[in-house]
Amino acid sequence: MTSQMLNLATWIHCTTAEGPGKRFALWVQGCAIRCPGCCNPEMFSNAPKHLKPIDEVLNMILTAKDERDIEGVTILGGEPFSQARPLVALTTQLKQHDLSVMVFTGFQREELEMRTDGEPELIEQCDILVDGPYIQEQHTQSRRWIGSENQRVHFLTSRYQDTEDWEKPNTVEITFDGKELEISGFPMWQKQIEAWKRVLQKREESQKKS
Ligand code: SF4
């Protein structure tokens, strides 16, 4: 086990809208790329949002595996490769529990492979890596899980090479389990998503007060 910390923006315990099958989705906080039109601008800042030890994040994910039968974890953001070292520690343990790993990055794979701060090691942990920045002018809704035409999908293991999910259009998923409202997937209607985010924010504020 390790005491490394992750700066997280938010997470969802189980979704089918952020990769193949049922998955835990983890949004990291902080992205220096700042693509115009990014749907998560609140995740640009590197300021601590939810600072969590790797062990605690791993426990949340393993609980989701037991209770919700997730098959993997999707890491997005924010920019996951800006926190490559702690994510290597996390994903190494996920693999030991037979959980698949899918990571979205705004950088190009070739650029990350040249870096020396854990980036090549994180690529090695990925079953699927989606790379490249979001380019507003190349926006698409027809590539599942992907925002713009330039972004590439690298199947780095054989685990999902035959998935047909890839061919389906993008989706958005909203779940409410009586306690938590969770939104995931691709924001087809930006205004509605923003309204849902405000609802979540108000719920968070009222929970803090109570
Ligand atoms: S790389 Fe991703 S998180 Fe960062 S600005 Fe671009 S779309 Fe947003």
Most confident among 12-26, 47-61, 178-192 (mean pLDDT)? 47-61
Q: What is the pLDDT of residue 192?
A: 60
Query: Is pLDDT above 60 for 160?
Result: yes
Find out whether 9 and 43 touch, Cβ atoms under 8 Å.
yes
Where are the domains positioned within the chain? Answer: 5-209
Query: Is pLDDT above 70 for 131?
Result: yes
- Centre a 10 Å sphere on the Cβ of residue 30 and count the other Cβ atoms it contains: 20
Q: What is the pLDDT of residue 1?
A: 44
Which residue has its alpha carbon closest to ligand 1 atom 3?
Answer: 78
What is the enclosing helix (H) or strand (E) of 202?
helix 190-209
Of ligand 1's listed atoms, the one at least distance from the Cα of 106 is: 1
Residue 26: strand, helix, or coil: strand
pLDDT tens for 162-195 read 876 666 666 667 666 666 666 666 655 555 666 6
- How far apart are the C-alpha atoms of 39 and 196, rounded to whole Å? 13
| Ligand 1 centroid distance, CA of 40 (Å) | 7
Q: What is the pLDDT of residue 60?
A: 97
pLDDT tens for 78-89 read 999 999 999 999
- How far apart are the C-alpha atoms of 44 and 46, rounded to whole Å? 7
User: CA of 143: how far to CAs of 42, 164, 166, 181, in Å?
Assistant: 24, 12, 7, 26
Query: Is pLDDT above 60 for 46?
Result: yes
Tokens describing residue 27: 């949004």
Q: Give me the mean pLDDT over the 201-208 stretch.
A: 70
| Ligand 1 centroid distance, CA of 202 (Å) | 25
DSSP conformation class of 181: E
Which residue, among 102, 84, 81, has the nearest Cα to 20 in the 3D structure? Answer: 102
**What percent of the chain has a predicted confidence (pLDDT) above 90?**
68
Least confident of 24-33, 119-128, 145-154, 160-169: 160-169
Q: Give me the mean pLDDT over the 114-132 stretch.
A: 97
Q: What is the pLDDT of residue 193?
A: 61
| Ligand 1 centroid distance, CA of 64 (Å) | 26
DSSP for 117-136 reads SSHHHHHHH-SEEEES---G
Whole-angstrom distance between the N-terminal and C-terminal Cα of the chain?
34
Least confident of 25-34, 45-54, 119-128, 162-171: 162-171
User: Which of 134, 151, 186 is the pocket-test mutation for ligand 1 (most atoms within 8 Å of CB)?
Assistant: 134
Of ligand 1's listed atoms, the one at least distance from the Cα of 43 is: 3
CB hemisphere CA count around 111 (13 angstroms): 9
pLDDT tens for 67-106 read 999 999 999 989 999 999 999 999 999 999 999 999 999 9
Q: What is the pLDDT of residue 205?
A: 75
Beta-strand relationship, 23-28 and 72-77: parallel
| Ligand 1 centroid distance, CA of 132 (Å) | 9
| Ligand 1 centroid distance, CA of 33 (Å) | 6
- How far apart are the C-alpha atoms of 206 and 195, rounded to whole Å? 17
Of ligand 1's listed atoms, the one at least distance from the Cα of 104 is: 2
Specify the amino acid at residue 172.
V
- How far apart are the C-alpha atoms of 172 and 110, rounded to whole Å? 30
Q: Any idea which fold 5-209 has?
A: TIM Barrel (3.20.20)
- How far apart are the C-alpha atoms of 73 and 58, rounded to whole Å? 11
Angle at 191 between CA 42 and CA 206, to 5 degrees: 60
